[in-house]
Homo-oligomer: A and B are copies of this chain.
């Protein structure tokens, strides 16, 4: 005997759909009833059902295609979301005091690895910065940044003595594309010294490249002090 549901909210519908998937009433690779049918079953409207299914699709559980219908994905595409706060916020959020220090600043031609990575023209002028971010006087992050002059000419007027280029960039230069990588690397030489790490110690690093409408804006490599973890919860 089929149980009848009389739900109202899109949240309830999401819940029922997920329950049916988990209990095996609906199985992976099969097609769900159409929105119209579900709306009838739930004594709801298509608009509400649509929102429920749309969100579940965004969350990676379903795949929707016109005419083909809504399919249950075999293995949900689990998406981990990391929020990328400003270093300052990340540090002060822990209760620690944030301190910034400019290590060096130099205008130069783009080194060839960078030109190749960002697809720059030969000899394009870039601003090269190295900065340290401290949490309660302990090294937290070493930032090695390159900013493309053609994309942001005003950057050459900034000293970045008292605050980091990231703060400045997010306020001034929007970006439309971002490539972000996480990796493990070895702390050596100066990097180890700045981070107060033993030579050869593994450190967590992030590499970040941003573009504004196809134009490369900046390349940043962030080396975190030993022991750093990037964590998220779902």
Residues of chain A having any CB pair with chain B under 8 Å = 22, 60, 75-86, 89, 167, 170-171, 174, 177-186, 200-205, 207, 228-234
Contacts and interface: CB of A to CB of B under 8 A. Distances in A.
Given A22-B174, A174-B22, A80 B183 contact: no
Given A75-B89, A82-B80, A184 B204 contact: yes
Contact of A228 (B80, B183, B205, B233): B183
A79 B81 contact: yes
B202 A186 contact: yes
A174 B19 CA distance: 10
Given A79-B81, A182-B231, A184-B185, 5 more contacts: A75-B85, A80-B83, A182-B229, A184-B228, A186-B202
Contacts of A204: 182-184
B83 A182 contact: no
A180 B76 CA distance: 16
A77 B83 contact: yes
Contact of A184 (B60, B83, B202): B202
Contacts of A177: 233-234
A203 B184 contact: yes
Nearest to A167: B75
A154 B60 CA distance: 27
